[in-house]
Amino acid sequence: MISQKELIKDIIKKMIFFLYRIFSNLALIFIPFVIFIRERKGKELPDRISERYGKNTHDRKKGKLIWIHAASIGECQSILPIVDKLNKDQSIDQILITSGTVTSAQVMNKRIKNKVVHQFIPFDVPVFANRFLSYWKPSLAVFVESEIWPNFIHNLNNKNIPQIIINGRMTIKSFKRWSLFNSSSKDLFSKFSSCSTQNSDSTLFYEKLGIKKTNYTGNLKFALAPDLTDAKKYDELKVLTGNRKIFLAASTHPGEEEIISRVTLKLKKTCKELLTIVVPRHPKRNNIINKNIIKNTAIRSMGNKIRRNTHIYLADTIGELNIFYKLADIIFIGGSLVMHGGQNPIEAAYHGKKVYHGKHVENFSDVYMTLNQMKLSQVVNNERQLEHFIHEEYKSLDNEVRKVDISSLKKEGEEAVKKVLKEIYQYL
């Protein structure tokens, strides 16, 4: 006999999902307006807007199809080693990748080959979700990291399509938010067959939220080696910079450029051949480098030359960061000296150079913990420490950049890929 307490829980659980369905259906009225705004901001591709409504722009091949959903560019890049392996499996007839951003679509379109196709994820509205799933009929649905869409999840469950999470990541903040609706959350998460996580904290959180089969497999982002650099651009930059020692401040955020400028001015007193290159996270910001602090600044987008008296080279362009990682002798990753939460340091570490970062790296805490254990990164707590470490690195530099051993980093990535693939194949 069901107790009164269990009955109340069941009513609340059903009520919350019922309300979500109502609100998501009401959203139908506003979706055209939302898409119009997003299109004007460059966040939608005009010729692919129909995909947001669950309509297909690719043919569905006969046979076994795996659907993998990755929210944005970082998640899409992390699954490339997995997709490459699945692409070679003749028992799999088609691989459907969905994502939500224009940049992720552009990345995937460059890497798509053979039986892989890309579509934008539809809005999580029942009619769109049903249209999408009824057409593609996946044999398995794979969600990457932290993408949770209730209507899709319930629809997949109703169609008896297994669904799993890979490279699962859940912060304490997200866990507390889901826990506010404990009964409904457990009902939702229990519909996943399994969850492979990138850190032990996430394993615990997903278990508490109702996924019975959870296991730590490691972070897939460690498996993705950086793309080959543009040799022509690299050679041109090498000529521009000459024999100067390069300090790269990558993915900087507001407030950090001022710190980098002050540190550069102090270092130039003793480190005569130092050239600081700043690659801001959002290059279209105004007055990134304060000319009142540093006058000797060359700006890449304006075609400025690097001269002997140039202190800072502002690389305010997009898509060239990998070239600057290769060029640099000393690397600092931004978003970490200010309270932003950090930026992904893995690509920089793959170039075999030690990575320096501030203490505010909450968004990548597990990644930095791994890199610190491998002695591939070093935390700097303040501006003075950053100056000290760069000065020490500068003094120790020879004509060749000192490489660090990244074999452990590669091994970490390879193991993560093996474990995640093993998990996927249990449901194919």
* pLDDT of 5: 54
Which residues make beta-bridge pairs with 313?
277, 298
* pLDDT of 153: 96
Sheet with strand 194-197: strands edge to edge? 116-120, 94-99, 65-69, 140-144, 163-168, 194-197, 214-216
Sorted by where each begins, the domain ranges of the chain are 4-216, 231-405
Q: How many residues does the chain have?
A: 428
How high is the mean pLDDT in each 10-residue block of the chain (428 residues)? 52 69 88 94 93 95 97 89 95 96 88 92 96 98 93 96 96 89 89 94 94 94 83 92 94 94 94 95 81 81 90 90 94 96 92 93 89 92 96 80 77 94 95
Question: CA angle at residue 262 from 258 to 263, to 5 degrees?
Answer: 115
**Domain at 231-405: CATH code:** 3.40.50.2000
* pLDDT of 1: 47
Query: What is d(CA 237, CA 5) in angstroms, rounded to the nearest whole number?
Result: 69
**Domain at 4-216: CATH code:** 3.40.50.11720
Q: Which of 366, 360, 334 is nearest to 348 (CA)?
A: 334
Bridging pattern class, strands 65-69 and 94-99: parallel
Contacts of 109 (CB under 8 A, 6+ apart): 118
231-405 has the same fold as 4-216: yes
Question: CA angle at residue 125 from 33 to 120, to 5 degrees?
Answer: 75
